[in-house]
Chains A and B, each alone.
Chain A
Amino acid sequence: MKDIANIMEIQDFSFTYPKAENPSLKNINLPIKENHITALIGPSGCGKSTLLRAMNRIHDLYPGCHYEGAIKLKNQDGSIGNILDIKKENDFIALRQRVGMIFQKPTPFPMTIYENIAYGLRIAGIKNKNDLEEIIVKSLQDAALWNEVKDRLHQDARGLSGGQQQRLCITRVVALKPDLMLFDEPTSALDPISTLAIEEMILGLKEKYSIAIVTHNMQQASRISDYTAFMYLGDLVEFNDTDVMFTNPKEQQTNNYITGKFG
């Protein structure tokens, strides 16, 4: 494996849901590489979403989660902080602005297309109308969504097609210029054509952003990711270059899974 800097490093990480007896994640060690795409794969219930949702601590929306170990995030100045140490509301907000998240179902806010993007920007402190306008137009152009929405910027975002909604949700996160973007099965609710559009979008994003994506679709993982992590029953079984992972995995379990013997 080439030596590439990590934007995030998950170290000896265990996670237990509120009121759960056993941890859903056990002793995970995983690097997330800068400006590359890391795919998380594994059978249903193995803990992919749980791990992804720890990376921006969205779990903390529900009180009583238990974390162990460390999740180190590289700051823009090069210093490194453990996001599990975060306690203050303001620090959570800052974390989520730096580590954006896109969900399985498109989640347009009940407002106009323009406001969907402006909302996060305003929270991030960008209030000047011209600045907002500029960032919004630029982000939509980068997302190849501009031509489709430029005449309806001030219409309700819920009127867009599912694929367009999902691209808007990605744009909304990109506009905040995060360091890391998390995708939890972003195409599993979409048709094949919208799926391709989103895959292309994600591929384009890795020039500027680091990405972690959960997917059930083996082809998708091999098409777009540079690294793949295979998880099973709350353990990280194997982390490898995607090419190696899909041709010559180290672990027998990985091989069984990607050749479709179980899962």
Chain B
Amino acid sequence: MRLLINKLVLGLSSLAAVIGLVFLGWILITLIIKGSEALSPYIFTHDLINNGIRNLLFGQFVLAGLATIIGIPIGIMAGIYLQEYSNGSKYADFIRDLSDVMMSAPSIVIGTFVYAVVVMPTGHTAGWAGVFALFVMMLPIVVRATDDMLSLVPTELREAGIAIGASKYHVIVNIILRAAKVGIVTGLILAFARVVGETAPLLYTSGSSVYWSTDLSDTFPSITVSIYNLATMPDDKMVQLAWAAALVLTFFVLILNLLGRYIIREKHH
């Protein structure tokens, strides 16, 4: 009987895995076939106004990059506070719960929130609003990644640092962070990969633009929002460009994820 159940469970879960892989493969293959039609060096050297995606790629990286640059130090410091300084206080538990809730909040909710607090009062979409939305998405991921990775560092290591005469600050900076470094860096890469492909937080915040732009106080180009816009256009050429952009973005996020996972794997061997 038990044997039968075992086989059944194994069979069902294998089936589920196969179904998952089939769909994933289908998506990837469709993406590659449709995406490669418009894929050419040309689109990387021209902006959307001239049927390229240069400004979109650049815009996406500026938005996600700035969110990361602001989010990482704040997130890491918050994670350090939670693990090293909070002494298990109620306040710390509250921040952990809040981060978990924020992490599972649908991204459109965050987009709408930023729309309400930034875009509505100023009256127009702006790059900064998009950066802020991505930052809000990213922060809890960085906080919890840091928190979790630091919690894996054994207490004895902290005590050994103190016992040798180091101050708590030096123990954290020179010993604990270093011991958790690989895990934290991996968390950061995965956090970046998570926000770099987001559409919903940008849709109503940074808006979309067909021109090259470096002015974050104005509507700002991004690849995800433009894919969304292009894909619904009646023009076949534009739809093809959307596929190509989707392929480029997917490829990039995939590489980032693989890199993150590779680092994790390296650490465990």
Contact = CB atoms under 8 A, between A and B. Distances in A.
Interface of A: 56, 58, 61-63, 89, 93-94, 96-97, 100-101, 103-105, 107, 109-111, 119-120, 123-124, 169, 172-173, 176
A189 B170 CA distance: 28
Interface residues of B, number: 21
Q: Which 3 A-B pairs have the closest CB atoms?
A: A107-B160, A101-B163, A120-B164
A96 B162 contact: yes
A101 B162 CA distance: 10
B163 A109 contact: no
Given A62-B87, A110-B175, A110-B179, A120 B156 contact: no
Highest count of chain A CB atoms <10 Å: which of B161, B165, B178: B165
B174 interface: yes
B121 interface: no
Contact of A123 (B156, B158, B159, B165): B165
A109 B156 contact: no
Contacts, number: 67
B154 interface: yes
19 contacts: A58-B159, A61-B159, A63-B87, A96-B162, A103-B163, A104-B156, A105-B154, A107-B156, A107-B157, A109-B174, A109-B175, A110-B175, A111-B178, A119-B164, A119-B166, A120-B165, A124-B165, A169-B160, A176-B164
Contacts of B168: 61
A100 B87 contact: no
Nearest to B168: A61
Nearest to A104: B156
B40 interface: no
Contacts of B160: 101, 103, 107, 109, 169
Interface string B129-168: 0000000000000000000000000101111111111111
